[in-house]
């Protein structure tokens, strides 16, 4: 069932700013000319069309969500129509089942396994075609990535690789086990913005990006 906003359409994308890769996501949103906000407490959810839960350490993030009372806030705002996107650790937070552990938010019906590839040394780069997202292959960066092992019937698989699912979505949530914010490609950030009902910059500006581009946002925050 589709959820419709009551009143004016929210126009801001938030990035959960408790721990993890926050600035990289903010920089991608800036390049798409989208208004954004760092989300640290319940009042920061005002007028959010979508919220990105970044990569980081999932156990730490789950603990901080509970400490700051944001689990209930995320569930409430998702219920009124706010979309969510979890990358890597963010995907773990959103899953209904986490292998061998208690779940956190439980907003997308899937089973996920932490550190599905092994240690930090097993991180790698690849690329794949995700037809729903872009007509061209998308670069993929996996860092201590989880693996999605199965999904429920209301969840659409966006990318399957070998024996695991790397990207999936339902009506209100997108999850990726890799890090789109660590490449110059804007395709997934644009896809999420469109899911939120927003109007991101349409042309690709990947050629202007380098791995230090987000550092200006880190300096502003400090």
* Residue located via tokens 């901080």: 64
Given the residues 23, 25, 28, 179, the one annotated as active site: 179
Q: Is residue 199 among the annotated active site residues?
A: no
Residue 23: burial class (beta carbons within 10 Å; 0-12, 13-18, 19+): buried
- The pLDDT score that the predictor gives to residue 122 is 57
Is 110 inside any structural domain?
A: yes
Expressed as residue numbers, the domain containing 174 is: 12-221
- pLDDT tens per residue, the chain (222 residues)? 334 444 456 689 999 999 999 999 999 999 999 999 999 999 999 999 999 999 999 999 999 999 999 999 999 999 999 999 999 999 999 999 999 899 999 999 999 999 767 555 457 899 999 999 999 999 999 988 999 999 999 999 999 999 999 999 999 999 999 999 999 999 999 999 999 999 998 766 555 566 555 455 554 454
Conformation bin of residue 159: beta by default, left when phi > 0, alpha when psi is -120 to 50: beta
- The pLDDT score that the predictor gives to residue 11 is 86
Q: Is residue 181 among the annotated active site residues?
A: yes
Backbone angles phi, psi at 69, to 5 degrees: 65, 30
DSSP 207: G
Stated pTM of the model: 0.88
Is 1 inside any structural domain?
A: no
* Residue located via tokens 């919220």: 51
Nearest to 108 by CA among 158, 182, 65: 158
Specify the CATH number for the domain of residue 160: 3.40.50.880
Is 4 inside any structural domain?
A: no
Rounded to whole angstroms, the Cα distance separating 206 from 184 reads: 5
Nearest to 56 by CA among 32, 23, 28, 84: 23
Is 7 inside any structural domain?
A: no
- The pLDDT score that the predictor gives to residue 116 is 64
Q: Is residue 33 among the annotated active site residues?
A: no
Q: Which residues contact 167 (CB under 8 A, 6 or more apart)?
A: 130, 157, 158, 159, 174, 175, 176, 177, 178
Residue 162: burial class (beta carbons within 10 Å; 0-12, 13-18, 19+): exposed
Count of residues in the chain: 222
Total number of domains in the chain: 1
- The pLDDT score that the predictor gives to residue 222 is 42
Given the residues 23, 88, 113, 189, the one annotated as active site: 88
Given the residues 181, 185, 189, 196, the one annotated as active site: 181
């Amino acid at each position: 069932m589709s959820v419709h906003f009551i009143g004016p359409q929210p126009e801001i994308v938030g990035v959960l700013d408790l721990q993890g890769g926050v600035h990289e996501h903010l920089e991608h949103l800036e390049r798409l000319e989208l208004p954004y906000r760092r989300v640290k407490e319940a009042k920061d959810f005002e007028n959010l069309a979508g919220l990105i839960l970044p990569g980081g350490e999932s156990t730490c993030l789950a603990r901080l969500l509970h400490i700051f009372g944001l689990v209930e806030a995320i569930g409430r705002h998702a219920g009124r129509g706010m979309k969510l996107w979890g990358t890597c650790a963010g995907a773990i937070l959103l899953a209904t089942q986490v292998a061998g552990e208690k779940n956190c938010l439980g907003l997308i019906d899937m089973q996920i396994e932490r550190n599905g590839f092994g240690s930090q040394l097993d991180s790698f780069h690849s690329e794949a075609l995700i037809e729903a997202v872009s007509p061209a292959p998308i670069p993929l960066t996996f860092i201590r990535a989880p693996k999605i092992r199965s999904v429920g019937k209301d969840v659409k698989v966006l990318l399957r690789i070998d024996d695991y699912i790397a990207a999936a979505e339902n009506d209100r949530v997108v999850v990726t086990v890799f890090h789109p914010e660590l490449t110059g490609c804007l395709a997934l950030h644009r896809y999420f913005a469109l899911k939120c009902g927003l109007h991101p910059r349409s042309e690709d500006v990947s050629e202007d990006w380098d791995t230090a581009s987000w550092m200006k946002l880190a300096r502003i925050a400090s």
